[in-house]
Amino acid sequence: MFDAAPLLRDVFGFDAFRPGQEEIVDAVTAGENVLAIMPTGGGKSLCFQLPALIREGVTVVISPLIALMRDQVRALQEAGVAAGALTSGNTPEETEAVWAALDAGELKLLYMAPERLASGAAMGMLRRIGVSLIAVDEAHCVSQWGHDFRPDYLRIGELRRALDVPLAAFTATADAETQDEIVEKLFDGVPPRAFLRGFDRPNIHLAFSAKDNPRRQIMEFAAARKGQSGIVYCGTRNKTETLSQALREAGHSACYYHGGMEAEDRRIVETRFAREDGLIVVATVAFGMGIDKPDIRWVAHADLPKSIEAYYQEIGRAGRDGGPAETLTLFGPDDIRLRRSQIDEGLAPPERRAADHARLNSLLGLAEALECRRKTLLGYFGEADVTCGKCDLCDTPADVFDGTTPVRMALSAILRTEEWFGSGHLIDILLGNETDKVRARRHDQLPTYGVGKEYSKPQWQAIFRQMMGHDLVRPDPERHGALRMTEIAKPILKGEADIRLRRDSIRKAARRPAVKAMVSDEDAPLLSALKAKRRALAEAAKVPAYVIFPDRTLIEMAERRPASLDQMARVAGVGAKKLERYGSLFLEVITGAIEELHPARRKLAVRDRGDIYDQLLEKQTELARGTGGIDKPLSCSASQLAKVAQLKPDDRHGLERVLGERRAERFGDAFLDVLRAAG
């Protein structure tokens, strides 16, 4: 085996490997297919850069971010390594230098973005230059289950087969499903040699807090760390701009970063963050993957991340130098509602949405944890032997109580309503709120009606949130977010197991005002489903979503729940053309069934003449063989009935002009009775 120690020392300046690095370097150098899962800051890049110097030929590195590639290439070149990158961010001189080095057979590492593999010319070039190894950074991007899915990563498996060379895949975050998909997509299902180096970052302090004036909470957290480099992640672009302004006004050096900025402005922020000490970047998740800045001392989340994997990746950008780092994650009911709707409004298949809801539940479980957060976090990734002492719950244990009784009440309400409803309606049942929906479904007759008056609505919301965090219930995407019990909930319902809840979360909920939502909790899942349908139609037509229907129209659909096209036509914003084009599609989302109507009948829906048409049709059926039932069959066409409903003639003569003498004689009196009754 080649002795890597001299290169480690002379090129990279390290006297020894970090834990786990050496065996990965040996396997990659030996030409084995490798999957290495290492914590951020664990030295992943060295595990393919060092073998690249030992092996003959060129190592191709597939990496998702131009900024990351440029940073690594610059660092390698500074160390005297022949490395280059072919990216859209290159100057012509840089690209020319890379090609010259390739043609001369001097280049050892070639960095490329996965999108470049779409070019047939790229494949020809890679065949020609003598590639001996493929290294894939951020390999979780290949997975539909991962949180940074990049479709172009799917071409890497094809590249490996075409070049017939070993492949080494690296990532800091991959649960079991993501690992399985990496193996399937990159290694054709043949398990590579796997290295799981542990996910623990013991230098990072973990903390969560329920939102209570979140801007003040972030400002206080930053003020206590003034002069230190930090990142604040926000859920919206607008919030990044307003919060960075507030930080600047408070005397911090701060700027914002999001995907809506011009490319040059984003590069300026990236360069400032890499070079300036003490800069705070307030960003969406567009900022961060592959950040190589070692001295980020803190990361705060002003809004709940979208999954536990995303959370782990984002906090992992702090303390890469091994020094102490701190985190704070704020969460509230508005975050959970937003994340649920993002999942439900996506175009993923039901099983993917169900898995994403389960991932969000896992993050809620971390937010509502009763004991050591590090134990909960690492347990999600399969690590059981955990020591901590560096999280808010180890600093100050949570105030817990026996929550078995309220949880059993909630589970009973779910069971007795056959798992068809969301938390909003279930809370109305538990509180004994006599709403129209409760009365219409006769849920005021249930034994659980009114049994939960000991708690307020916000407190019940906190209880349901903790139930999701304990994975006792999951939203069912097929039922517009209705809550379903999991297997682990059943022993609690049967009285065979107990459960503890956090008292502080429920106490805070009692004094925290409810967040004003677009619609009620009960209607929110349906609104999400309607938005998903709108998005699919808008993308297919290549138009903005509001062109299909504006939000206010979808909100009214979710609240009124029209059961027919006639009722749909009465929703504000649904005109004749849109009813004809989209009515049945949205009605199917609401009712689960398609209403089949003759085109002539469909046009009447928007003119509020549909009921008249239906009554005329009923009378025609009764009189098809005359009043005695023995005459020759006779009927009107759909267009004739529609014309009668639309024109509403008020005498037999008017009917004859539409129907003709024979049909007017058979149906005239009955039709006129219908028209007069309709006014």
**Domain ranges for the chain:** 5-196, 204-331+375-395, 400-511, 524-596, 610-677
- Residue for token digits 């009124």? 560
Secondary structure of residue 45 in the 3-state scheme: coil
Cβ contacts of 426 within 8 Å, gap of 6 or more: 410, 413, 414, 417, 464, 483
Question: Which tokens go with 91?
Answer: 């100057």
Q: For domain 524-596, give its CATH number from 3.40.50.720, 1.10.150.80, 3.40.50.2300, 2.40.110.10.
A: 1.10.150.80
Cβ contacts of 44 within 8 Å, gap of 6 or more: 36, 38, 137, 170, 172
At residue 402's C-alpha, the angle toward residues 401 and 404, to 5°, is 145
CA distances from 213 to 143, 163, 219, 505 (A): 37, 56, 10, 15
Question: Which tokens go with 144?
Answer: 């539909």
Residue 470 is predicted with a pLDDT of 85
Residue 515 is predicted with a pLDDT of 38
Residues of the chain by 3-state class (helix, strand, coil), percent to 5: 50, 10, 40
Closest CA to 175 of 409, 358, 392, 437: 358
Q: Cβ distance 391 to 206 under 8 Å?
A: yes
What single DSSP character describes residue 455? Answer: S
- Residue for token digits 């949880």? 407
Q: What is the dihedral of CA 383, 384, 390, 396, to 10 degrees?
A: 140
Domain at 204-331+375-395: CATH code: 3.40.50.300
What CA–CA distance (Å, rounded) separates 507 from 520? Answer: 23
Name the β-bridge partners of 328: 300
- Residue for token digits 């110097």? 53
Each as own residue / partner, the long-range contacts of residues 177-184 (CB below 8 Å, 24 or more positions apart, any chain) are 177/143, 177/145, 177/355, 178/140, 178/143, 178/145, 178/146, 178/309, 179/35, 179/37, 181/142, 181/143, 181/144, 181/145, 181/146, 182/35, 182/139, 182/140, 182/142, 182/143, 183/35
What CA–CA distance (Å, rounded) separates 210 from 306? Answer: 16
Question: Which tokens go with 17?
Answer: 């490997």
Residue 620 is predicted with a pLDDT of 83
Name the β-bridge partners of 647: none
Q: Cβ distance 263 to 214 under 8 Å?
A: no
Domain at 400-511: CATH code: 1.10.10.10
What single DSSP character describes residue 150? Answer: -
What single DSSP character describes residue 117? Answer: G
What single DSSP character describes residue 111? Answer: E
Fold of domain 5-196: Rossmann fold (3.40.50)
Q: Cβ distance 147 to 289 under 8 Å?
A: no
- Residue for token digits 């539940």? 361
What CA–CA distance (Å, rounded) separates 149 from 169? Answer: 15
What CA–CA distance (Å, rounded) separates 141 from 63? Answer: 10
Secondary structure of residue 15 in the 3-state scheme: coil
Q: How far is CA 505 from the centre of its chain?
A: 25
What CA–CA distance (Å, rounded) separates 30 from 594? Answer: 60
Buried b (16+ CB within 10 A) or exposed e, 244-256: bebbeeeebebbb
Closest CA to 61 of 1, 126, 8, 149: 126
Residue 362 is predicted with a pLDDT of 87
SS3 track for 354-411: HHHHHHHHHHHHHHCCCCCHHHHHHHHCCCCCCCCCCEHHHHCCCCEEECHHHHHHHH
Residue 154 is predicted with a pLDDT of 82
Residue 300 is predicted with a pLDDT of 97
Residue 512 is predicted with a pLDDT of 43
CA distances from 252 to 219, 227, 248, 535 (A): 10, 7, 5, 40
Question: Which tokens go with 577?
Answer: 């053309």
Q: Cβ distance 287 to 296 under 8 Å?
A: no
**Same fold flag, 204-331+375-395 and 524-596:** no
How many Cβ atoms are within 10 Å of 368's Cβ, its own excluded?
Answer: 22
- Residue for token digits 């977010």? 481
Closest CA to 14 of 38, 43, 48: 43
Binned average pLDDT, 10 residues per bin, the chain of 679 residues: 75 79 92 88 85 93 82 82 85 87 90 82 84 91 67 84 93 79 90 83 91 92 91 92 95 91 84 82 73 82 89 87 88 80 77 82 88 89 81 90 93 94 92 89 92 90 87 81 89 92 69 48 77 83 78 85 84 80 87 59 56 79 79 81 84 85 86 82
Closest CA to 301 of 285, 325, 289, 286: 285
Q: Cβ distance 642 to 597 under 8 Å?
A: no
Q: How far is CA 599 from the centre of its chain?
A: 39
CA distances from 568 to 92, 171, 284, 527, 583 (A): 58, 49, 38, 15, 7
What CA–CA distance (Å, rounded) separates 182 from 190? Answer: 10
Query: What are the two backbone dihedrals, phi and then psi, of residue 548, each rounded to the nearest 5 degrees?
Result: -70, -65
Closest CA to 468 of 372, 371, 362, 380: 362
